[in-house]
Structure 1
Amino acid sequence: MSPIATIADLLGSGLSPREIRRHCAPAGPWQQLLPGVVLTKPSPATRLDRLRAVLSFAGPSSAITGADALTRRGAVLPIPRHIHVLAGENSRKAHPGILLERTTRPPGVVERDGLRLAEAARAAVDMARRETNPRAVVQILDAVLMARLCSPSELREELRVSSRRGTALVRQALRHLYPT
């Protein structure tokens, strides 16, 4: 069972708002990770706990993308401080530590460790298009391809159907590394 719960879930299980506040107080056994999302264990939150909390916060149609989606599936990449999540275009939530990207094109999702992860090509393009360093873009593409999470043709297809915003370096690197 996940140690992440929403306030609504806790209220639905019979806890009162007062009991929840008491459990989340500085001396209590729980901690509120995000507005409306609680870690129901006394130990510090792990990255997995934080990922689950972000999905609870962002809503049921959200999916983790970028570095976390790729490393959870085997790619070797540095983990950024923020968590990159895709959410529906009507989502209005924001919070420090979360890179919430609204999208009209929900990603294909892979379930892993109770997480909804964007498919590899989408996660790679989402991560790479935020880079301004061409070497970093190449490292992202290499890591994804070396882990065999997707193929160059799947990356090309993702670039074809995605927004062109921020993809110039990604397109250039893909053409240079893996010419068609």
Structure 2
Amino acid sequence: MCKETQSPSAALAALTSAIAQILDSSRLPDVGAIRSAILHAFRSGVWIPHEQREPGDESYVRHVLHSDPARRYTVLALVWKGGQASPIHAHHTWCAYSVVSGELFEERFSYDAAGHGAVATHGASRRPGDGGCGPAGLNQIHRLRNSRDETAISVHAYGVPATELSQGVNNVLPLLEPASL
């Protein structure tokens, strides 16, 4: 699913308008609705500009697609070459994501309070239209990786402005038991 079907600016405007409406309608963000908005925005194809589909050589790359002027959220395209993975992490903020091109494998973990780290629980392949969402905290601990040769792209929305992405999103955790997923 990599055909371009609409103008990137119009598609992004529709997505960010949908996210803003969701955030305006409730005191607590409906992350499931935000994930659905991302999914809906890519139903007819990938409209991300080519320069924001470029992977990095050493690790996955985050390309900022939009940072809300009111500082409520940021939308990013994460581009993954084969073999690249995120660290095991929870989130300091709410998040929602959907795979829009290629395939990722998502490993899930539970939090072990005594060991202050992550224990593997299960994993699943994520294809275009698949994804996840969750509130801030230790209830959604995961690691995403591209175990395929082809580049994969996922789109994520986080409840922080772009200026706070480096410190305000990932809460990296140690793996307490070897993963066998």
Structure that is richer in strand per residue? 2
Q: Which has the higher contact order (CA 8 A, sep 6+)?
A: 2
Tell me the TM-score normalized by structure 2. Answer: 0.25
Larger Rg: 1
Structure that is richer in helix per residue? 1
Tell me the TM-score normalized by structure 1. Answer: 0.25
